[in-house]
Amino acid sequence: MKITWYGHSAFRIDYADAVVLIDPFLSHNPSFAGKVEDVTAGATHVVLTHGHGDHLGDTAPIAERTGAVVVANADICGYLGGLGLSRFEPMNTGGTVRLGAFSVTMVNALHSSATQVGGISHALGNPNGVILKAAGEKVLYHMGDTDIFGDMALIDELHRPRIGIVPIGDRFTMGGEVAAHACRRFFSFETVIPCHYGTFPLLDPTADVFVEAMGDQAGRVKVLAPGGSLMA
């Protein structure tokens, strides 16, 4: 699979038979310098971890333009349905949806999930991490926005993810030292991609603290520049 990071928590996962966008916060993302239409071309699915605007991002226009199916918790699907979207796979924590070329499982995350529209807050279910599995590919775990929690051990036991996409920016998620502790204690990742940093002044500007805290496992960390890709 090919994994591309567009800054913040926005990723594109290219499988042989599917193109998955995760948390496509693009047009208002200070880290993103490309054209939304170009980087989302061919998208078949949009997977959302939670309802904050910096994760919902461009989901509605992308889905309208590409016909991509939105995979999200039921509350987010209902909200986006009110905006006119109609192609959904609603789910919730603990559930798995099989989508032909790949599957999505929602797991816990410690965060919040709501969006503000016209000064009104809309509660959009619980936050999640997502596990993506495809035949012949390594299991990928996008943690969403989260703190460390002990049941990460169960996530590893159940799903054995080998690729971890990990928030490290502090203040709204784990900081670098805690994120490294989570990776080292609970998982056997072969590849770790840090995210949710450097986007806004309130977040840690670099991945340096995380990489240093990974110690003898620092070689597993792949620090991408926005727009950068790797094959996994």
pLDDT score recorded for residue 117: 77
Reduce the DSSP state of residue 85 to 3 states and report it.
coil
Residue 177 one-letter amino acid: E
The pLDDT of residue 194: 99
Whole-angstrom distance, CA of residue 192 vs CA of residue 66: 29
Q: What number of CA atoms fall less than 13 Å from residue 217's CA on the CB side?
A: 17
- Mark residue 203 as left, alpha or beta (left: phi above 0; alpha: psi -120 to 50; beta: remaining): beta
Domain boundaries, the chain: 2-224
Q: How far apart are the first and last CA of the chain?
A: 6
Helices (H), the chain: 36-39, 53-56, 59-66, 74-81, 152-159, 176-186, 208-213
Residue 211, helix vs strand vs coil: helix
pLDDT value of residue 212? 98
**Thinking of the domain 2-224, which architecture would CATH place it in?**
4-Layer Sandwich (3.60)
d(CA 212, CA 175): 12
Which pLDDT tens digit goes with each residue over 204-218? 999 999 999 999 999
51 has pLDDT over 90: yes
Residue pair 152/186 in contact (Cβ under 8 Å)? The answer is yes
Rounded Cα distance, 156 and 121, in Å = 34
Residue 19 CA to residue 101 CA, distance in Å, equals 10
Mean pLDDT of 10-32: 98
pLDDT digits (tens, 9 = 90+) for 141-196: 999 999 999 999 999 999 999 999 999 999 999 999 999 999 999 999 999 999 99
The answer on pLDDT for 228 being more than 80 is yes
The confidence band for 119, taking pLDDT boundaries of 50, 70 and 90, is confident
**What 3-state DSSP class applies to 188?**
coil
Which residue type is seen at 8? Answer: H
Q: What is the pTM of this model?
A: 0.98
Higher pLDDT, 118 or 86: 86
What pLDDT does residue 39 have? Answer: 98
What average pLDDT is seen over the chain? 97
